Amino acid sequence: MERIAVFPGSFDPITLGHYDIVERAVPLFDQIIVAIGQNAQKNYMFSLEQRKKWLEDSFKPFPNVRVDIYEGLTVDYCKKMGANFILRGLRNPADFEFEKAIAHTNRAITKKDIETVFLLTSSGKSYISSSIVRDVLRNGGNYEILVPKEVRI
């Protein structure tokens, strides 16, 4: 059975933390789908097209990584794509508690067909989040140290 993982997120924008998780997960899975979830209630700083391009450019070196867009429940998207894993990154204990609740819910509603795999973000990147990057950008700071080189604004 092919090991397909979905790495869901808004990636507004992609950070070095996101990149770190995918880069380290590449040898673990046959295919990783970096999936941009669309949420009509959320106001994004960057367009869907821009976020998708940054992801595609960032992960170009990895032949088993592809980028896609989806709406609705992540588990429904996983079933549609034939994925049996959800990949999530953890930066801190608060992330763990939040992600644990989602993972338990996902297992319950999929009858344990989809497993969540957690990777700890490398220590030098654990402080980075998309919201921090957006705040640095809004205030004219040096965001380039927080994002892959492909993300230039």
CATH number, residue 15: 3.40.50.620
Backbone angles phi, psi at 6, to 5 degrees: -105, 130
Domain coverage including residue 119? 4-151
119 is an annotated ligand-binding site residue: no
18 is an annotated ligand-binding site residue: yes
CB contact at 8 A, 34 and 65 = yes
Query: How far, in Å, are 24, 87, 104 from residue 115 at the CA level?
Result: 18, 9, 9
pLDDT in tens, the chain (153 residues): 899 999 999 999 999 999 999 999 999 999 999 999 998 788 999 999 999 999 999 999 999 999 999 999 999 999 999 999 999 999 999 999 999 999 999 999 988 889 999 999 998 999 999 999 999 999 999 999 999 999 988
Q: Please count the structural domains in the chain.
A: 1
49 is an annotated ligand-binding site residue: no
Query: Active-site residue numbers?
Result: 18, 42, 91, 130
